A = this chain, B = another copy of it.
Amino acid sequence: MPFSFVTDSVETRSQARAGRIATAHGEVLTPAFMPVGTAGSVKSLTPDELREAGADILLANTYHLWLRPGSETVRGLDGLHRFMGWSGAILTDSGGFQIMSLAPLCKVRDEGVEFRSHLDGSALKLTPEKAIRIQDDLGTDIAMSLDQLIDMPAPPARVREAVDRTVAWAARGLEERDRLRAEGRGTMALFGINQGGTVAEERRRCFEMLGAMPFDGFALGGLWVGEDRSVGLERVEEDCARFPADKPRYLMGVGHPVDVIEAVARGVDMMDCVLPTRNARRGTVFVSSGRLVVKNAAYANDPRPLDPDCDCYTCRKFSRAYLRHLFAAGELLGMRLASIHAVHHMITLTRRARAAIIERRFAEFRAAFLERFASGETLAPPAPAAG
């Protein structure tokens, strides 16, 4: 099995750590931000652009690819890497999150999740075993266990039930991978997902069981779903303190630059989020000094790049004035150029954090980053509130 994880350096004044994950599709440097390629493409971008932006790993959504074009179709075309032309590593989610948030008429039972396709209404069922088979069909490097998500806040009994089911499903997923391996397949790594939502005691209880299972890494699920940032970060700190030091830790669904740095400070190695690229397609990008709304009229004649501190393709070649024009005119190129910056910005942020950890100056890096991000320097003043 080609999967391994080593930590190069751990901060002494925080839990931040720098590491490397080896996969059959190259090395992944951590902390890592994973751009999201929902349906087999990171929206509007080519694999080469992702490489140029520094990406060494992408996340793809099992639910979307299972429904369309179908995991067996992808397998027949030699797997997702070949299908989408991406030679780096791929992590797939289990499909559970999308089913529980997108699919209508979703019913969760011990056996699995019954739901209807959001595309054609057909009745489908995802079990923990099926989730593993589909991810193997896709040819992923890192698969995720099926877990049960619940909306928070929720009654204690409901949280408890979801934790127990998540643990049972985790064990069944591992067994299914064993069966696949007996068939000469299932080479992918498999991560377990810790649940319990924002309830500290349930997360502790969940990991008492999950942590005993032979997963290749552990994820933090059920966070960043509406709770205060401080609550989420407390749960991250507690989970990371319990997770084993020799396995990667993946915080699911986190992508705001401030959250990323704060999570890294608490010991998280991997993150993913559609936020930076979704915002970018709508004309808002993160830059060193905060959040820039590209369409703002103040940029109509601004010859500066989106972020004067950035060396991405977009910032090397194009002005705010041009980007603003593209968004005003509804030109697709605007979404692309903003997306290129967005991916590059997030990956550069984690790379800089990594360098700071290795050079024992992460605390200074974190303080400087937060100060600059809050500065608003080089941004247009916020538009006056509508009267």
In contact, A69 and B321 (Cβ under 8 angstroms)? yes
Considering the complex, give the chain B residue whose CB is closest to the CB of A41.
B333
Is A101 an interface position by the 8 A CB rule? Answer: no
CB distance from A143 to the nearest CB of B (A): 21
- A83 x B41 contact (CB < 8 A): no
Q: Tell me if A39 counts as interface (CB < 8 A to partner B).
A: yes
Shortest C-beta distance, A123 to chain B (Å), equals: 21
Are the C-beta atoms of B40 and A77 separated by less than 8 Å? no
- The verdict on A22 contacting chain B, using a C-beta distance below 8 Å, is no
Residue of A318, A325, A328 with most partner-chain B CB within 10 A? A325
Within residues 280 to 338 of chain A, which ones have a CB less than 8 A from any CB in chain B? 300-301, 303, 313, 317-319, 321-322, 324-326, 328-329, 331-333, 335-337
A73 x B326 contact (CB < 8 A): no
Q: Once the chains bind, are A322 and B85 in contact (CB under 8 Å)?
A: yes
Q: Which 7 residue pairs spanning A and B have beta carbons closest together?
A: A44-B332, A41-B333, A39-B329, A69-B325, A85-B317, A41-B331, A77-B321
A341, chain B: closest CB distance, angstroms? 13
Q: Is A45 an interface residue (CB 8 A)?
A: yes
**Given A68-B329, A76-B301, A301-B73, is A40 in contact with B336 using a C-beta cutoff of 8 Å?**
no
Task: Say yes or no: is A84 at the interface (Cβ < 8 Å to chain B).
Answer: yes
Q: Which residues of B contact A325 (CB under 8 A)?
A: 39-40, 68-69, 83
Q: Are B331 and A43 in contact (CB under 8 A)?
A: yes
A46 at the interface (CB under 8 A from B): yes
Chain A contact residues, CB within 8 Å of chain B: 39-41, 43-47, 64, 68-69, 73, 76-77, 83-85, 300-301, 303, 313, 317-319, 321-322, 324-326, 328-329, 331-333, 335-337
Is B328's CB under 8 angstroms from A83's CB? no
Residues on B with beta carbons closer than 8 Å to the beta carbon of A301? 73, 76-77
CB <8 Å contact, A84 and B322: yes
Can you report 14 residue pairs joining A to B where beta carbons are below 8 Å apart?
A40-B322, A43-B333, A44-B332, A45-B333, A46-B317, A46-B336, A46-B337, A64-B329, A77-B303, A77-B322, A83-B325, A84-B322, A332-B332, A332-B335
User: What residues of B have a CB within 8 angstroms of the CB of A329 in the complex?
Assistant: 39-40, 64, 68
User: What residue of chain B has the Cβ atom nearest to residue A76's Cβ?
Assistant: B301
Cβ of A103 to closest chain B Cβ, rounded Å: 16
Q: A69-B300, A69-B324, A77-B301 are in contact. List 18 more A-B contacts (CB 8 A).
A: A39-B329, A40-B325, A40-B326, A43-B332, A43-B333, A44-B332, A44-B333, A46-B317, A46-B337, A47-B317, A73-B301, A76-B301, A77-B321, A84-B322, A85-B317, A332-B332, A332-B336, A336-B336
